[in-house]
Structure 1
Amino acid sequence: MPKTIYGFSKLSKSEKVEWLLDTYFEDKTNARILVTQYWNSNEKLQKLHDEFIENTITNYYLPLGVAPNFLINNMLYTIPMAIEESSVVAAASKAAKFWLDRGGFKTEVISTEKIGQVHFTFSGDQNELKNFFTTIKPKLISKSAPITKNMQRRGGGILDIELRDKTTNLNNYYQLHATFETLDAMGANFINSCLEQFAKIFKEEAESSLNGDLDIVMSILSNYVPNCIVRAEVSCKIEELQSKDIENPALFAKKYKQAIDIAEIEPYRAVTHNKGIMNGIDAVVLATGNDFRAVEAGIHAYASRNGQYSSLTHCSVADNIFKFWIEIPLALGTVGGLTSLHPLVKFALELLEKPTARELMQIVAVAGLAQNFAAVKSLTTTGIQEGHMKMHLMNILNQFEATSAEKNELVEHFKTNVVTHSAVVEAIENLRK
């Protein structure tokens, strides 16, 4: 059957599914069962999910877990995490419990500025353009009032607009670089609407005021938000680090700092180090209906801001104090988008006691810091595979379709044996002989 199809988007969901089954699947019956069994039996809820994106055929589930005992600025939280990777929720929970008795996490929102840009080219005189911009800038802001009035009423809006000359990088290339405060909204739609309004007015006024061609290339927000920063940290006296798996706190603190120092100067380590941080961050961002791809892009750009990709977390050991902290850009929202539509997003936000965007920034930063603390603690003590593979054990058993009885026996067996894929396979085979 030919794989090209026209008018696919106009088909009903069932018709889309049947075309896919006819075109790509040998066992159409089992494929159909798989797709349809993930449809929600609540038709209203399923219709809501169908309308989130285009060409929906079914739902793709991720586990939603929780990590309790997070003490953040002297308030206790249970943090929701949507993620498929084994040991992430367990590691976050373990880190939360570790710091619960050591003062918890301290956080601070440093700034909340968002950025958008109108990209354009101009072939005329630079000084003439600069003078024109100075004249037109108040009009750009005032003519955007219908878009900004509701945001301004709540205390947000346009902060500033700058003309940026980028002609040394690209011939005739300039920007209108605008900054915004969007409060509890992530603000993408608001910012993009403002930018398109700027571009429209700028182009119209330029036609009668400037000599030379001015062409708008595009108007779009930036997901790089280096002035939308949150800080989270933990600290305690070195001797207070002592625990079941930290017998020598001074040695642990020394090795821990060395591990962070390596991640700060070695990109190959920094990428994996930061990926672990994002395990915690992405899981909470996804659970709360925010855009984890935007968050990822902005944070990784921030990790490269000094010309080399580096660790997002930092550590100091001085004056008998161990301190571990993170500063990251986070553009998040608690209103708009999926936050008011997806039932589990509403659930997650209520679980977090309906945080503001600033509060959510702090919670998410803590999740990333906790995840990283747990990972580096394992790396510098027991090694990371021991805990990770024990959490991964159930996935391996499910791959081999282990029965409940087999799972119970093998879980007990691996309480005192090292979990590796080959060891689990061997144990299953021996059990089934």
Structure 2
Amino acid sequence: MKNNINGFSKLSKEKKIDWIAETYFAQPEKAVQLIKSYWNADAKLQQLHDDFIENTITNFYLPLGIAPNFLINGKYYTVPMTIEESSVVAAAAKSAKYWSERGGFKTTVLNSEKIGQVHFTYNGDATKLKAFFTKIKNKFYEDTNHTTANMQKRGGGIVDIVLKDKTALLDNYFQLHATFQTKDSMGANFINSCLEQFAKTLKREALAHAEFNAEEKNIDIIMSILSNYVTNCIVRVEVSCPVEQLSEKNIPNPKDFAEKMVKAIRIAEVEPYRAVTHNKGIMNGIDAVVLATGNDFRAVEAGIHAYASKDGQYTSLSHAKIENDTFSYWMEIPLALGTVGGLTSLHPMVKLALEMLENPSSTELMQIVAATGLAQNFAALRSLTTTGIQEGHMKMHLGNIINQFNATPNERTLIENHFEKNPVSHAAVVAFIENLRK
């Protein structure tokens, strides 16, 4: 079957769907019906979603869950979480409640600057390039005044621009390394617009620079782009309490529990195979809030995982210690988030999520997201070091298995009652359902 097509993007939405259904599905009518069943009944709302990306044919739903009782710096938050994985929201909510009774989460934004770079090659005397850069540095600010004016009114703008010599890594490679403050916006378009103007200014001024020879004038701009590795945009989150206060139903001996938690984190600090899964648990919480608030979770993921490798080996993002009979558990992560612009002003559910959080500033949202990540990590480690991860996870997953077999309400009740007292596994649930239906 020939599956390639020319001019797909120019087809109407209906024609796109028809081509996909007829090309890939044994029952095209059913495929079309399923695709259209996820359209929004409100035509204006559907059009809004259609315009977010290209070649849209329908909507892909993810659940929006709620984790209440997050006490952060003395203020309670109800946190929206968008995720498809069972047990994540329940774990975050349980952890939030646990720590709300022990002082809550303490958070601090250590810095909130973002980075962008103009990458270029220069074939000549590096000393002459440095002198040239010093001479024309103000031109970069002057030429971007039209772009930065509104941002400056809000207290943001270009913080600094430096020339970096990277020729030890790559022949003739230099960069303009710029830091920005974008206040409550994520600022990607703002930063990239500034960087592209920097590149034009650099080319123009080099051509006019009398002290450059012909080869030195010919600066070659490779690319101008922001970085998602935001090492100047860091938030710290911490929980702590006396060891004796860690006690609860599944923690009869709080001292043993605290020591085991510290050892579990030390393993993640030194063993990359464990660290990846450890940090994935943190990202379960972080990504869910980032998605719910209309931010770029791919950028956040990339930046955070790079940060976990900053010292040359991939390691745990979270840390713990016992000192003076006090258990402390903390994390520092890079987070570049926005609460204005982009989807935050367009997507109705994003606007709802931000209003639920009482319309936080970008720095406040950084703290909420970091606290959710640490809460998720604590919940996962508490399970791992006590009952094991599968007990709680599989009970939450039970509903998904039941749905796969289209259980009737009566069957659902019988299944849930049985697995209240018995271990949950996919095979055990299937066997129980088959026995019920005999």
Range class of TM-score, shorter chain: over 0.9
Is 1:174 the equivalent of 2:179? no
- Partner of 2:300, secondary structure, is helix
Is 1:366 the equivalent of 2:371? yes
Distance 2:368 2:95 in 1: 14
* Partner deviation per Cα, 1:281-333 (whole Å, 9 max, x = no partner): 00000000000000000000000000000000000111000000110000000
- The residue type paired with residue 328 of structure 2 is K
Query: Which residue among 232, 238, 246 is the counterpart of 1:233?
Result: 238
Q: How many residues align?
A: 433
1:146 aligns to what?
146
1:292 aligns to what?
297
Is 1:108 the equivalent of 2:108? yes
Distance 2:410 2:59 in 1: 31
- The residue type paired with residue 81 of structure 2 is M
- The residue type paired with residue 119 of structure 1 is H
1:38 aligns to what?
38
Query: Which residue among 389, 395, 404 is the counterpart of 1:399?
Result: 404
Distance 2:271 2:95 in 1: 25
TM-score (norm 1): 0.99
Distance 1:23 1:420 in 2: 38
* Partner deviation per Cα, 1:380-422 (whole Å, 9 max, x = no partner): 0000000000000011111112122111111111111110111
Q: Could you tell me how far 1:426 is from its partner in structure 2?
A: 1.0
Query: Which residue among 278, 281, 290 is the counterpart of 2:283?
Result: 278
Q: Could you tell me how far 1:85 is from its partner in structure 2?
A: 0.2
1:417 aligns to what?
422
Moved more, 98-107 or 402-411: 402-411
- The residue type paired with residue 202 of structure 1 is L
Identity %: 67
Distance 1:403 1:16 in 2: 37
1:341-352 equivalent positions in 2, closer than 5 A: 341-352=346-357
* Partner deviation per Cα, 1:230-281 (whole Å, 9 max, x = no partner): 0111000000000011000000000000000000010000000000000000
Distance 2:178 2:108 in 1: 25
* Partner deviation per Cα, 1:149-187 (whole Å, 9 max, x = no partner): 000011000000000000010000000000000000000
- The residue type paired with residue 270 of structure 2 is I
Distance 1:333 1:405 in 2: 47
Distance 2:128 2:52 in 1: 46
1:6 aligns to what?
6
2:117 aligns to what?
117
Q: Could you tell me how far 1:7 is from its partner in structure 2?
A: 1.1
Distance 1:35 1:53 in 2: 17
Distance 2:149 2:436 in 1: 69
Distance 2:404 2:270 in 1: 39
1:378 aligns to what?
383
Distance 1:410 1:155 in 2: 58
- The residue type paired with residue 31 of structure 2 is A
* Partner deviation per Cα, 1:62-83 (whole Å, 9 max, x = no partner): 0000000111111111100000
1:126 aligns to what?
126
Please list every run of 5 or more consecutive structure 2 residues that lacks an aligned counterpart in the other structure.
none
Q: Could you tell me how far 1:2 is from its partner in structure 2?
A: 2.3
Q: Could you tell me how far 1:228 is from its partner in structure 2?
A: 0.2
2:335 aligns to what?
330
Distance 2:3 2:124 in 1: 50
1:198-213 equivalent positions in 2, closer than 5 A: 198-209=198-209, 210-211=212-213, 212=216, 213=218
Distance 1:404 1:347 in 2: 33
Runs (4+) off by over 3 Å: none
Is 1:264 the equivalent of 2:269? yes
- The residue type paired with residue 339 of structure 1 is T
Distance 1:3 1:53 in 2: 22
Q: Could you tell me how far 1:143 is from its partner in structure 2?
A: 1.3
Distance 1:76 1:412 in 2: 35
Distance 2:409 2:307 in 1: 47
- Partner of 1:194, secondary structure, is helix
- Partner of 2:423, secondary structure, is coil
2:393 aligns to what?
388
Distance 2:237 2:414 in 1: 42
- Partner of 1:117, secondary structure, is strand
Distance 1:408 1:292 in 2: 38
* Partner deviation per Cα, 1:195-238 (whole Å, 9 max, x = no partner): 00000011011012132231000000000001100011100000
- Partner of 2:2, secondary structure, is coil
- The residue type paired with residue 105 of structure 1 is F
Distance 2:316 2:287 in 1: 17
Please list every run of 5 or more consecutive structure 1 residues that lacks an aligned counterpart in the other structure.
none
* Partner deviation per Cα, 1:103-124 (whole Å, 9 max, x = no partner): 0111010000100000000001
Distance 2:409 2:345 in 1: 39
2:307 aligns to what?
302
- Partner of 2:66, secondary structure, is strand
2:51 aligns to what?
51
| Aligned alpha-carbon RMSD (Å) | 0.6
Distance 1:165 1:323 in 2: 41
Distance 1:204 1:262 in 2: 54
